[in-house]
């Protein structure tokens, strides 16, 4: 609270206005330099920095341009929720039974949900205990689930632009559990070739598990997990295929479920039975009679705590649940996305002064290409909320802290922004954003918003330059100044010139990666941050992801470091050959791509193009692209569609080679192509149709027997070769 109160206090002594303007001019030059000399120059950018102390616009570049803000939309969702519901609001779930309930026997157990996004397995177990202690011993006619607080539309606008079963696409539900996702855990057998164990958490009869996973060697990890509605239209089917490495512990993936209330009900039944309660009858949807008797009620943490999960961890599920709850509480039950967005628009127009029609907001999470805001509008909300005591502390504390937690945990390290900057990140394909608050070294407070769309090159470069802008603002009033702050973030690479030194570092980090010891991860992360040679950084990142592949930040570091260039991978490949080592980076990239990581698939295309002239690497990559086509066909299609012409051409050449060698007529790629041809997006459907024809023709040509070469006629000296005919001749 002390930090937040500091934001509300005015300075005791006014700074020298001449010095302040001089520092601001230095800041403006530094910010302009970053934008004009980096990948941001070729992108669409909206930037605004505003002082909260005197209200001055310190810097603005296309501040009113509407761009895709990605997850920065959650700032608007959180502001509306705090204002409309209050920081002490709690989400309640009621458990009721018949009015004549006695002697522990209930005909029906009714569960009435009100959109709580925070019920987990642990909380539900505690609720079960409350029911048992309330005297419940037997249920004779099942469990009735009341979802009437929400409408029946489970998917928010914009979510339909992406297909799949990833947990961040989880549906909304008035009754929800574990963010409407399920943990699938894979455990290897005792010997290579034995079946691998597949378990779900939480376990219940709701899940139908079909597993063909087997135990592989330590270096084999290629499995797929999929989640879909079972053929009975009631339960959830979990399918597992592939190889789980031996002696590498338990692997897990989280997948979305499709019917939240049934997921909740089946899990509740399982827990009640485990506590000795007899449960008979069906689990079904229905309403709660007005005569029902309340057995127990469960309330969530207060809204200010829930908002930390929303913004620090950027939870799409919490955002969309909040939108529907806001709709129900402000516009009336049932809550819907339409009502919730209307409530946000009311708040922005009435309280903040942002008129309807000057922005586009279709959902509460910012997913996909659905929303448009400007940096100026974002700052307007930030400035409004920090002045609204008593909800200002709750709004500020929900944001990630630079280099400390949330989505900023591994950003801004070593800069003046550490601990001074609190912000919301935003990331989509070709979209990166950062908006929030910063108190500079000199004490001045700012709101800032940076949104970048349609940028060339890698997202990592854009993120680095965005961080440089934030660090520059934070450094205002320091001895080093904004230019030095920018330089500390944008460290120029320095290449190890000695081949022997490069090989020594390569051997060191390859050996650490082979040990796959999670305890090495902190050291490797520190080494990666301090290393200036991009090739060495790549092998360190490879060792890091091998040591702790389950940490998302390590995946990000690896993808940012794996560069298909002569300076990076070319030097690593040559050094590996001299040192007689397997070439690092590529196997980890293939594993990520085969697991369905879209960006990894795109990176793989870059490596295919770069290694086209290297026979061994090209052959390996052709085979691995066929594996990706089998394990992650939809992601492969998406990556092919968005790839540059040169990367797509190289990838298709390699893919044809790999598919011919694989020779599987029923490969999942063909099924995925048929599915994509039925896409509601015309461009995707047309692309899939054209690609199917092209692949079929090229594979047929590659498999066709080659005819004998025609004899070559060598002209005699008396009969010179015919000369080419000139144009028009």
Task: Please enumerate in sequence order all residues whose Cβ is within 8 A of that of 620, keeping only pairs 6 or more positions apart, or say none.
Answer: 586
Cis peptide before 44 (omega within 30 of 0): no
Q: What is the pLDDT of residues 171-194, one digit of tens each?
A: 999 999 999 999 999 999 999 999
Tell me the CA distances in angstroms from 287 to 53, 147, 261, one per residue in order.
53, 8, 13
Number of Cβ within 10 Å of residue 66's Cβ equals 20
Q: Give the model's pLDDT for residue 616.
A: 87
Query: Which pLDDT belongs to residue 718?
Result: 39
Helices (H), 611-724: 615-631, 633-642, 645-662, 668-677, 682-703
Q: What is the CATH number of domain 92-154+262-303?
A: 3.50.80.20
Distance of alpha carbon 178 from alpha carbon 571, whole angstroms: 45
pLDDT of res. 480: 87
Q: What is the pLDDT of residue 634?
A: 87
User: What percent of the chain is modeled with pLDDT above 90?
Assistant: 74
Q: For 702, how many CA atoms within 13 A lie in the half-sphere containing its CB?
A: 18
- Contact indicator for 176, 321 with CB cutoff of 8 Å: yes
494-509: per-residue pLDDT in tens? 888 899 999 999 999 9
**pLDDT higher than threshold 80 for residue 302:** yes
Using DSSP's 3-state secondary structure scheme, residue 427 falls into: strand
pLDDT above 50 (res 522): yes
* Helix residue ranges, H only, 86-242: 121-133
Do 159 and 149 form a contact (C-beta atoms < 8 A)? Answer: no
% helix, strand, coil for the chain, step of 5: 45, 15, 35
Token pair for residue 124?
């539900």
For the ranges 96-105, 255-264, 594-603, 655-664, the lowest mean pLDDT is seen at 655-664
pLDDT tens, 365-403?
Answer: 999 999 999 999 999 999 999 999 989 999 999 999 999
CA distances in angstroms from 40 to 303, 432, 656, listed in the order given: 37, 11, 36
Residue 7 belongs to what H/E stretch?
A: helix 2-8
Residue 465: pLDDT over 90: yes
Tell me: the pLDDT tens digits for 278-293? 999 999 999 999 999 9
Q: Phi and psi for 260 in degrees, rounded to 5?
A: -55, -45
The residue-averaged pLDDT of 190-214 equals: 95
Domain pair 2-86+304-489 / 92-154+262-303, same fold = no
pLDDT digits (tens, 9 = 90+) for 618-648: 999 999 998 898 888 888 999 999 889 999 9
pTM listed for this prediction: 0.85
Q: Which CATH superfamily is domain 2-86+304-489 in?
A: DD-peptidase/beta-lactamase superfamily (3.40.710.10)
Measured between alpha carbons, how far is 281 from 297 in angstroms, rounded to an integer?
23
Domain extent listing, the chain: 2-86+304-489, 92-154+262-303, 173-258, 494-584, 590-703
Residue with tokens 């409407």: 180
Rounded distance between C-alpha atoms, residue 612 and residue 614, angstroms: 6
Does residue 712 have a pLDDT over 50?
no
């Amino acid at each position: 609270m002390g930090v937040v109160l500091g934001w509300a206090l005015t300075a005791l002594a006014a700074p020298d206005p001449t010095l302040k303007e001089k520092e601001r001019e230095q800041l403006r030059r530094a910010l302009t330099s970053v934008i004009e000399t980096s990948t941001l120059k070729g992108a669409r950018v909206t930037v605004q920095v505003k002082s909260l102390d005197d209200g001055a616009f310190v810097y603005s570049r296309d501040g009113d341009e509407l761009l895709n803000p990605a997850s920065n939309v959650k700032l608007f969702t959180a502001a509306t929720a705090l204002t409309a519901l209050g920081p002490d609001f709690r989400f309640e779930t009621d458990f009721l039974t018949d009015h004549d309930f006695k002697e522990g026997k209930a005909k029906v157990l009714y569960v009435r949900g009100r959109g709580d996004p925070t019920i987990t397995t642990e909380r539900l177990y505690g609720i079960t205990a409350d029911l048992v202690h309330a005297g419940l011993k037997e249920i004779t006619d099942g469990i009735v689930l009341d979802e009437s607080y929400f409408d029946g539309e489970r998917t928010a606008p914009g979510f339909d632009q992406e297909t799949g079963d990833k947990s961040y696409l989880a549906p909304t539900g008035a009754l929800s559990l574990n963010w409407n996702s399920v943990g699938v855990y894979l455990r290897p057998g005792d010997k290579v070739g034995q079946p691998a164990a597949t378990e779900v958490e939480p376990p219940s009869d709701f899940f139908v598990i079909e597993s063909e996973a087997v135990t592989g060697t330590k270096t084999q990890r290629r499995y797929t997990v999929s989640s879909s509605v079972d053929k009975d239209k009631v339960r959830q089917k979990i399918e597992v295929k592939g190889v789980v490495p031996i002696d590498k512990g338990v692997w897990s993936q989280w997948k979305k479920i499709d019917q939240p209330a049934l997921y909740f009900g089946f899990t509740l039944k399982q827990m009640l039975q485990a506590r000795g309660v007899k449960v008979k009858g069906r689990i079904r949807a229905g309403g709660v009679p007005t005569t029902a008797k309340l057995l127990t009620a469960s309330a969530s943490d207060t809204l200010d705590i829930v908002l930390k999960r929303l913004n620090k961890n950027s939870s799409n599920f919490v955002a969309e649940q909040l939108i529907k709850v806001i709709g129900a509480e402000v516009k009336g039950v049932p809550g819907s996305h339409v009502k919730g967005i209307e409530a946000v628009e009311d708040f922005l127009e009435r309280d903040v002064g942002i008129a309807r029609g000057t922005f586009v907001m279709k959902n509460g999470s910012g997913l996909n290409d659905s929303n448009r805001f400007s940096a100026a509008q974002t700052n307007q909300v930030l400035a409004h909320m920090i002045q609204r005591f008593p909800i200002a502390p709750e709004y500020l504390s929900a944001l990630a802290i630079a280099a400390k937690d949330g989505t900023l945990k591994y950003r801004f390290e070593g800069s003046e922004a550490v601990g001074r900057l609190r912000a919301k990140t935003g990331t989509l394909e070709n979209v990166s954003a950062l908006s929030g608050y910063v108190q500079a070294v000199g004490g001045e407070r700012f709101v800032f918003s940076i949104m970048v769309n349609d940028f060339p090159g890698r997202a990592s470069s854009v993120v680095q330059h965005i961080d440089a802008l934030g660090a520059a603002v934070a450094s205002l009033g320091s001895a080093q100044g904004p230019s030095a702050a920018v330089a500390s973030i944008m460290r120029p690479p320095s290449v190890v010139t000695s081949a022997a030194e490069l090989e020594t570092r390569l051997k060191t980090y390859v050996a650490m990666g082979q040990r796959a010891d999670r305890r090495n991860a902190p050291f490797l992360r520190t080494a990666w941050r301090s290393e200036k040679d991009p090739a060495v950084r790549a092998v360190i990142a490879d060792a890091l992801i091998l040591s702790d592949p389950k940490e998302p930040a390590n995946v990000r570091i690896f993808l940012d470091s794996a560069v298909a260039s002569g300076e990076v991978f070319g030097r690593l490949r040559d050094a590996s050959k001299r040192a007689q080592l397997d070439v690092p980076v590529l196997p980890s990239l293939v594993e990520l791509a085969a697991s369905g990581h879209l960006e990894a698939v795109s990176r793989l295309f870059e490596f295919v193009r770069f290694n086209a002239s290297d026979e061994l690497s090209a052959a390996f990559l052709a085979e691995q692209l066929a594996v990706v086509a089998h394990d992650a066909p939809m992601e492969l299609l998406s990556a092919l569609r968005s790839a540059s012409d040169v990367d797509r051409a190289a990838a298709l050449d390699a893919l044809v080679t790999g598919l011919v060698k694989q020779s599987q007529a029923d490969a999942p790629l063909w099924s995925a192509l048929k599915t994509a041809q039925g896409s509601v997006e015309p461009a995707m459907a047309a692309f899939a149709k054209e690609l199917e024809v092209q692949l079929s023709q090229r594979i047929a040509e590659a498999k066709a027997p080659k005819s004998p070469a025609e004899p070559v006629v060598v002209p005699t000296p008396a009969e010179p070769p015919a000369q080419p005919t000139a144009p028009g001749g």
